[in-house]
């Protein structure tokens, strides 16, 4: 493939294998897969999930719900505390799909109800230890106050969900499984408390580490992982995947080489990767890791080259003495991203290995 | 104005005042202003510069050069080491505008020449201390080798340029002026060396701190600052501007409040701000600082509230006890960005205070 500028390559085969892996696991373990589409933000890739029998999805904003509803998704969970200011779009969406909205306070329910003209469903977020948003698992008073607000409203209670983001601090399969057990136990305990009043209540969990590693989701109704569609080097360090599972890589033209300071400068910066960093197994903080591009994508083996810093358009790569002499202006290096969700969002489109462009939800309105 | 989701507000009046400030300074000091358009990436805002008599611009990629050439810019410098793989677009652009390309090695000139069919101009980047790209100021051998490659080619030598990015480490006007003197002295020394052979050679400098603070550019031909069009809280901490000069703010809906841990959760995360951080005067590392929105934009006075972390869509704000009780779900807070260039790039459009949408270079091809 002819690369002339920073290009987000998508290995369709690896991506579809990741999708199939999670869809198969869901079928085998008897849970519903409601994948988080904030990672890929793409109609086309959404259809690859549909081809695996997936009919429900998760998004992180009302705008993203509208984008996927426009491509025929009819059951969408917005896994973000409901922004009551978007009432108009919520009403419109609720007329075209089954819309599940997240709540963490009775205030948000009260404000939403005031303007709601279509039925929606409520999922209550439980904070199982990540401490970003959600109700504490033992705060039955707060849960009860949310449930009380739902009474005689267009908002029907559907169940509880959590995002165990603390799994991103884990660094082994064993640690991830421990996080899964701790968080799923909290969820099941809440369900036990409310099962009598709400026999049909559902429990939903979702984060790529626990969903990738766990093989048993007993007592859980639904999984909402997102990142696994591409994975990234952060997921490898956590223990969710191998380098070979990573389905996207940025192709970056080499524009300068500084052997005296072991640096290769590529076109590929913060506007391409975004700026998340990863503390690797060896303690180094990196913005991406280099791979050699080949005729079929990129080599499975990492190069001993990594992005040590990024400015808006520049990527500054460290290359050891043994490597620095091999690269020259006009070459193209592949860089595996630290955080595939933010990198995809920053790029706005993918290019498959056979050169096809895949578009994403546009940034602008 | 009705805000329902994260919206990048642009105070047109402040922005135009920033543009006029720099255009007036350039006129007064007898230098050419060739502003860097990577910050705003917008045809409309480019026209605001044109209204101040600016006819030349700087960009950070060939793609961005094409975007601005399409709006009538006829003299464009790409201040990024030339990516020789973009030869086709370079040839096309060189037929519609005066194109100035940056070089840091003879290899890039050699490779470009091989495919070049239209005349372009060469500016050689000098590394005056930032150590990202550029030729060391005393490396006459390397400069000579680049100049030798230009002979009998379609690439004409125009002059030297630098980006004194080390000024971003300064924390006072005095420190910035010192950086300016040190870097401009290096540039003038190189010019002295080459003036006899190239009597028309030009010196170009550019970074918002030195261009904002210095009032005298004797011996320098051209300035290329970019960020000053909006400024941001990083520039305030450096000493380039006051909070009142900052021309953009993100309007972020409040979606949850956690008084017990002094946190307000807003819709506004890494996909909106990008993820640069700032170590403030008080030592706190922040992702943005909050202001109260009002009918005419936002208050000059900062609130004692700041973004302490961001995930993809969530902004986690710290609010002290004295403030936390004032905010509730459905309110909208303004957040001044850490790095306006990356925030604008992440958002893809602006909304002026009278509700007009201003578009930007699209992300996708």
Chain A neighbors of B347, CB-CB under 8 A? 363
Q: Do B3 and A85 touch (CB under 8 A)?
A: yes
Chain A neighbors of B355, CB-CB under 8 A? none
Spatial contact of A241 and A317, defined as CB atoms under 8 Å apart:
no
Chain A neighbors of B108, CB-CB under 8 A? 255-256, 329-330
Does residue B257 share a domain with residue B174?
no
**B151 CB near a chain A CB, below 8 Å?**
no
Whole-angstrom Cα distance, residue A13 to residue A15? 5
Tell me, what DSSP letter sits at residue B52? T
Does residue A155 share a domain with residue A29?
yes
Q: How far is B28 from chain A (nearest CA, A)?
A: 31
Mean pLDDT of B15-33: 98
What residue in B sits closest to A85 (Cα-Cα)? B4
Give the count of beta carbons closer than 10 Å to the beta carbon of residue B195: 12
Angle at A53 between CA A52 and CA A54, to 5 degrees: 95
**B81 CB near a chain A CB, below 8 Å?**
yes
Chain B neighbors of A364, CB-CB under 8 A? 348-349, 357, 359-360, 362
Residue B336 has pLDDT above 90, yes or no: yes
How far apart, in Å, are the Cα atoms of B3 and each of B60, B342, B355?
32, 22, 10
Helix axes A43-50, A12-29, angle to 10 degrees: 40
Residue A247 token pair: 């389905």
How far apart, in Å, are the Cα atoms of B82 and each of A256, B2, B95, B364?
9, 44, 17, 21
3-class DSSP state for residue B94?
Answer: helix
In the stretch 179-238 of chain B, residues with CB closer than 8 A to chain A read: none
To the nearest whole number, what is the mean pLDDT of chain B?
A: 97
Whole-angstrom Cα distance, residue A358 to residue A187? 37
Nearest by Cα to B252 from B198, B307, B206, B203: B307
Spatial contact of A260 and A231, defined as CB atoms under 8 Å apart:
no
* CATH number for the domain that contains residue A76: 3.20.20.10
Q: Do B255 and A4 touch (CB under 8 A)?
A: no
Nearest by Cα to A285 from A308, A312, A315: A308
Residue B364 is predicted with a pLDDT of: 86
Residue B169 lies in a domain: yes
How far apart, in Å, are the Cα atoms of B45 and each of A364, B54, B349?
16, 12, 11
Does residue A252 share a domain with residue A223?
no
Angle at B23 between CA B17 and CA B27, to 5 degrees: 140
Q: Give the H/E segment covering residue B160.
A: strand B155-162
**B146 CB near a chain A CB, below 8 Å?**
no
Please report which confidence band the pLDDT of residue B365 belongs to, taking 50, 70 and 90 as the band edges: confident
Spatial contact of B214 and B181, defined as CB atoms under 8 Å apart:
no
Residue A315 token pair: 């990527």
What residue in A sits closest to B254 (Cα-Cα)? A83
Whole-angstrom Cα distance, residue A225 to residue A220? 14
Residue B8 is predicted with a pLDDT of: 98
Q: How many CA atoms lie within 13 A of B276 on its CB side?
A: 24
Does residue A218 share a domain with residue A323?
no
Q: How far is A266 from chain B (nearest CA, A)?
A: 9
Spatial contact of A288 and A236, defined as CB atoms under 8 Å apart:
no
Does residue A253 share a domain with residue A223?
no
Spatial contact of A208 and A228, defined as CB atoms under 8 Å apart:
yes
Does residue A178 share a domain with residue A252?
no
Residue B236 lies in a domain: no
What residue in A sits closest to B109 (Cα-Cα)? A329
Residue B171 is predicted with a pLDDT of: 96
Whole-angstrom Cα distance, residue A167 to residue A185? 15
Nearest by Cα to A82 from A111, A40, A39, A117: A111
Interface test with A, best of B43, B267, B360 (most A CBs within 10 A): B267
The separation between the first and the last C-alpha atoms of chain A, rounded to the nearest angstrom, is 32
Residue A167 lies in a domain: yes
Does residue A63 share a domain with residue A37?
yes
Nearest by Cα to B293 from B323, B251, B246, B264: B251
Residue B248 is predicted with a pLDDT of: 98
Of B230, B259, B283, the one marking the end of a domain is: B230
Whole-angstrom Cα distance, residue A273 to residue A345? 9
How far apart, in Å, are the Cα atoms of B164 and each of A133, A311, B181, B232?
42, 14, 11, 18
Spatial contact of A236 and A23, defined as CB atoms under 8 Å apart:
no
Residue A7 lies in a domain: no
* CATH number for the domain that contains residue B278: 2.40.37.20
Whether ipTM exceeds 0.90: yes
Does residue A171 share a domain with residue A67?
yes
**A1 CB near a chain B CB, below 8 Å?**
no
**B44 CB near a chain A CB, below 8 Å?**
no
Tell me, what DSSP letter sits at residue B135? B
Of B184, B203, B230, the one marking the end of a domain is: B230
How far apart, in Å, are the Cα atoms of A311 and each of A287, A315, B133, B177, B305?
11, 7, 11, 23, 27
Residue B51 has pLDDT above 90, yes or no: yes
Of B200, B230, B260, the one marking the end of a domain is: B230
Residue B143 is predicted with a pLDDT of: 98
Chain B neighbors of A314, CB-CB under 8 A? 80, 132-133
Whole-angstrom Cα distance, residue B122 to residue B139? 18
Residue A237 lies in a domain: no
Which of A83, A256, A345 is facing B253, going by the closest CB pair?
A83
Residue A1 lies in a domain: no
Does residue A178 share a domain with residue A137?
yes
**Ranges of chain A whose pLDDT falls below 70:** none
What residue in A sits closest to B108 (Cα-Cα)? A329
In the stretch 329-348 of chain B, residues with CB closer than 8 A to chain A read: 329-330, 332, 341-342, 345-348
Does residue B253 share a domain with residue B217?
no
Interface test with A, best of B250, B271, B316 (most A CBs within 10 A): B271
Q: What is the pLDDT of residues B256-305, one digit of tens each?
A: 999 999 999 999 999 999 999 999 989 999 999 999 999 999 999 999 99
Alpha-carbon Rg for chain A in angstroms = 22
What residue in A sits closest to B344 (Cα-Cα)? A271
- Supply the range of the domain harboring residue A72: 12-230
Q: How many CA atoms lie within 13 A of B139 on its CB side?
A: 15
Does residue A178 share a domain with residue A58?
yes
- Helical ranges in chain A per DSSP H: 12-29, 43-50, 62-69, 87-94, 106-115, 140-150, 173-194, 208-213, 233-238, 270-273, 321-324, 340-347
Chain B neighbors of A66, CB-CB under 8 A? none
Give the count of beta carbons closer than 10 Å to the beta carbon of residue B87: 20
Whole-angstrom Cα distance, residue B327 to residue A295? 55
Chain B neighbors of A341, CB-CB under 8 A? 312
Residue A4 lies in a domain: no
Number of CB pairs < 8 Å for A and B? 175
What residue in A sits closest to B78 (Cα-Cα)? A313
Residue B74 has pLDDT above 80, yes or no: yes
What residue in A sits closest to B276 (Cα-Cα)? A275
Number of domains observed in the structure of chain A: 2
Spatial contact of B217 and B184, defined as CB atoms under 8 Å apart:
yes
Residue A183 lies in a domain: yes
Mean pLDDT of B337-342: 98
Does residue A331 share a domain with residue A217?
no
């Amino acid at each position: 493939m002819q690369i002339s500028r920073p290009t987000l390559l998508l290995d369709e085969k690896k991506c579809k294998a990741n999708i199939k892996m999670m869809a198969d696991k869901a079928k085998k373990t008897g849970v519903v897969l409601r994948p988080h589409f904030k990672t890929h933000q793409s109609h086309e890739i959404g259809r690859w999930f549909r081809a695996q029998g997936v009919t429900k999805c998760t998004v992180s904003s009302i705008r993203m719900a509208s984008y996927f509803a426009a491509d025929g998704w009819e059951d969408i969970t917005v896994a973000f505390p409901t922004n009551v200011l978007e009432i108009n779009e919520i009403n419109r969406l609720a007329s075209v799909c089954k819309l599940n909205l997240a709540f963490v306070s009775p205030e948000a329910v009260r404000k939403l109800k005031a303007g709601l003209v279509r039925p929606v469903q409520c999922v209550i977020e439980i904070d199982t230890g990540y401490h970003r948003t959600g109700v504490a698992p033992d705060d039955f008073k707060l849960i009860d106050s949310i449930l009380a607000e739902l009474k005689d409203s267009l908002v029907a209670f559907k169940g509880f969900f959590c995002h165990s983001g603390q799994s991103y601090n884990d660094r082994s399969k064993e640690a991830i499984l421990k996080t899964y057990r701790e968080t799923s136990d909290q969820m099941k305990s809440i369900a036990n408390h409310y099962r009598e009043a709400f026999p049909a209540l559902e429990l939903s969990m979702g984060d790529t580490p626990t969903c990738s590693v766990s093989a048993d989701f007993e007592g859980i109704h639904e999984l909402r992982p997102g990142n696994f569609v591409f994975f990234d080097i952060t997921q490898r360090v956590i223990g969710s995947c191998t380098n070979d599972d990573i389905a996207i890589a940025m192709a970056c033209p080499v524009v300068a080489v500084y052997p005296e300071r072991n640096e290769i400068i590529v076109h590929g910066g913060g506007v391409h990767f975004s700026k998340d960093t990863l503390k690797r197994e060896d303690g180094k903080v990196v913005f991406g890791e280099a791979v050699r591009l080949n005729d079929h994508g990129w080599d499975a083996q990492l190069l001993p080259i990594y992005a040590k810093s990024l400015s808006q358009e520049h990527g500054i790569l460290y290359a050891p003495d043994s490597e620095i002499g091999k690269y020259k202006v006009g070459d193209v290096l592949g860089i595996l991203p630290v955080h595939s969700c933010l990198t995809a969002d920053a790029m706005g489109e993918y290019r498959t290995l056979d050169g096809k462009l895949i578009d994403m939800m546009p940034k602008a309105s």
